[in-house]
Structure 1
Amino acid sequence: MESAVRLRAAVTLLGRFPALAGVDLDITPGEIVLLKGPNGAGKTTLLRLCAGLCTLSTGQGWVLGHDLSSERRMVRRRVALLGHRTGLYDDLTVAENVAFWARAAGAGPQDVDEALERLSLTGRLADTRVARLSAGQRRRASIASLVVRRPELWLLDEPHAGLDQQTRDTVDTLVRGAAAAGATVVLATHELERIAALEPRVVSVVGGVVRGDNPTESHSPNSPSDAEGDRRGS
């Protein structure tokens, strides 16, 4: 079976700093993978590399069979990244934003309606311009714009940030459903206790390299490695 993600000695430079310093990683289609590590470990850069948004400085990498050195544009058509930026157009309504991403992915109006419904973005809220939304509503609109694309690879950076309990539960349900349908989900979060329920494979990232890969690792937020990361910060 072809890997969803395959990296060999992957290095990504931010300026002169090696945000990724030689990552080796294989991810199988349909997996849910948690990237665990302290702030500044390289988790976000790894997600962005897999999304085709960062340059592979040295080493080799493939995402969904596409070479990250020469086919990053092809990668972007098949993956979706939920990052710290919303990826939304402020002058468009919520529904217009979701419809834009739906058209880009070849999805139809029914898919737009379903995505808006799943994220409780119906009624007057659907017709509200993004510039007038609260931070939590923007986050929900971003998730709806990801869901409507039905990507083969979901890349989620702190997916529960700024969300209420109901929407956090919805995100978990969406992740389970995506994986069950054959999509691959790679996420980075510090909310380890919540993510434990998804039973992810845990990949530890420290100093821009993979330091551990354990599908049965404890997700306790009070584990020594997490405490050390919190003290170090970024």
Structure 2
Amino acid sequence: MEPAIDVRGLVKRYEGRAVVDGIDLQVAPGRICGFLGPNGSGKTTTLRMLCGLLTPDAGEGRCLGLDFRREAAALKRQVGYMTQRFGLYEDLTIRENLDFVARLFSMPQRRAVVGAALERLGLTSRQRQLAGSLSGGWKQRLALAACLLHRPRLLLLDEPTAGVDPKARREFWDEIHRLAGEGITVLVSTHYMDEAERCHELVYIAYGRLLARGSEAQIIREAGLAVWSLRGPGLAARLEALRAAPGVLSVAAFGSAVHVAGQDEAQLERALAPLRAQPGLAIERAEANLEDVFISLIARAQDNFAAPAGAAR
């Protein structure tokens, strides 16, 4: 089966800097692909290129069987794009916003289509409410309803649950999985590790470059991290020295424990050796998780906007 997304060598530059630098991306139909990376990593730029809002400087490929560069106009009619910021009219009601979007797509039987969207996203009882008066969770539902009006085959969601409470986030993801079950492909950027775990596969980029791709289990396995969990008094005073120690890729707090991760077992052991004699401090082996992996990936990645070594600042 032809991938829903199949692009290679995607590049976008601003002021001579590559904010997206040679990204290859393939996603099969009906799959939910989590798109992860720190702020400024190129996620939003990539999504905008895939849906035809930005023209790439280099790269080729197809989305939904269409050349994503040459057939961008046709592709836009089959893609739903949900931006980071709420992009609908706050002085219109929920129904009026959806009706406006339906008009833009020249949809036949507009009233019935809008009614069905209201029903599906649980918005019917609030349809007369002004969008500007909605909470973050309800704005999110409205934005998703607007994305789905024209029955897209591909959804591009840019941090859709930022600032939304846990209950609304869970309901949103339940809907995303229902959509995937209907054959819609979803590429969703997120910073939340619990959301990443709900995706079928993950792509991680930093500073415009692809660093890891695969299922959660694959990414953790291929990272090859050794992780130790530290618990006990006096840890806070030791963390900066640990972060600076050779072989330590990440030091991160998880509740009352601190995870120390690295790839070189011998160097990691030398970094931890001074702590083993500290009274009351427990040091135990731990399983690597996605957050351990992603923090360590950032530590190894090169900032595409950082000044070269030796350059004047």
Shorter-chain TM-score category?
Answer: 0.7 to 0.9
The C-alpha deviation readout for 1:53-79, integer Å capped at 9, x for no partner, is: 111111213211222322211111110
SS at match of 2:178: helix
Instruction: Give the Å deviation of 1:22.
Output: 0.8
Instruction: Give the Å deviation of 1:101.
Output: 2.5
SS at match of 1:84: coil
Contact 2:23 2:209 (C-alpha < 8 Å) held by counterparts: yes
Q: CA RMSD in A?
A: 2.6
Q: Distance in 1 between matches of 2:69 and 2:149?
A: 28
Q: Which residue of 2 aligns with 1:180?
A: 181
Q: Which residue of 2 aligns with 1:53?
A: 53
SS at match of 2:127: helix
Q: Which residue of 2 aligns with 1:77?
A: 77
Contact 1:192 1:220 (C-alpha < 8 Å) held by counterparts: no
Q: Which residue of 1 aligns with 2:255?
A: none
- The structure 2 residue matched to 1:115, chosen from 114, 117, 123, is 117
Q: Distance in 2 between matches of 1:151 and 1:227?
A: 36
Q: Distance in 1 between matches of 2:150 and 2:163?
A: 22
Alignment of 1:123-202 (within 5 A): 123=125, 125-196=126-197, 198-202=198-202
Q: Distance in 2 between matches of 1:149 and 1:193?
A: 30
Q: Which residue of 2 aligns with 1:222?
A: 291
Q: Which residue of 2 aligns with 1:95?
A: 95
Instruction: Give the Å deviation of 1:148.
Output: 2.8
**What residue identity is the alignment partner of 2:161?**
H
Q: Which residue of 1 aligns with 2:241?
A: none
Instruction: Give the Å deviation of 1:25.
Output: 1.7
Contact 1:78 1:153 (C-alpha < 8 Å) held by counterparts: yes
Task: Give TM-score, length-normalised by structure 2.
Answer: 0.66
SS at match of 1:223: helix
SS at match of 2:44: helix
The C-alpha deviation readout for 1:22-81, integer Å capped at 9, x for no partner, is: 111221111111112222111111111111111111121321122232221111111011
**What residue identity is the alignment partner of 2:44?**
T
Q: Distance in 2 between matches of 1:161 and 1:176?
A: 18
Task: Give TM-score, length-normalised by structure 1.
Answer: 0.85
**Which structure has the larger Rg?**
2
Instruction: Give the Å deviation of 1:15.
Output: 4.2
Q: Distance in 2 between matches of 1:115 and 1:229?
A: 40
**What residue identity is the alignment partner of 2:189?**
A
Query: Once structures 1 and 2 are overlaid, which stretch shifts more, 32-41 or 163-172?
Result: 163-172
Gaps of 5+ in 2: 221-287, 306-313
Q: Distance in 2 between matches of 1:138 and 1:65?
A: 32
Q: Distance in 1 between matches of 2:95 and 2:19?
A: 36
SS at match of 1:205: strand
Contact 2:19 2:42 (C-alpha < 8 Å) held by counterparts: yes
Q: Which residue of 1 aligns with 2:11?
A: 11
**What residue identity is the alignment partner of 2:158?**
D
Contact 2:52 2:69 (C-alpha < 8 Å) held by counterparts: no
Q: Which residue of 1 aligns with 2:42?
A: 42
Q: Distance in 2 between matches of 1:105 and 1:187?
A: 27
**What residue identity is the alignment partner of 1:146?**
C
SS at match of 1:90: coil
Q: Which residue of 1 aligns with 2:308?
A: none
Distance 1:22 1:195, change over 3 A: closer
Q: Distance in 1 between matches of 2:122 and 2:298?
A: 35
**What residue identity is the alignment partner of 1:203?**
V
Distance 1:105 1:65, change over 3 A: farther
SS at match of 1:48: helix
**What residue identity is the alignment partner of 1:209?**
R
Instruction: Give the Å deviation of 1:128.
Output: 2.5
Q: Distance in 2 between matches of 1:199 and 1:146?
A: 20
Distance 1:105 1:228, change over 3 A: farther
SS at match of 2:96: helix
Aligned residue pair count: 231
Runs of 4 or more consecutive aligned structure 1 residues displaced over 4 Å after TM superposition: 227-230
Which structure would you say has the larger RCO, counting Cα contacts within 8 Å and 6 or more residues apart? 1
Query: Once structures 1 and 2 are overlaid, which stretch shifts more, 73-82 or 210-219?
Result: 210-219
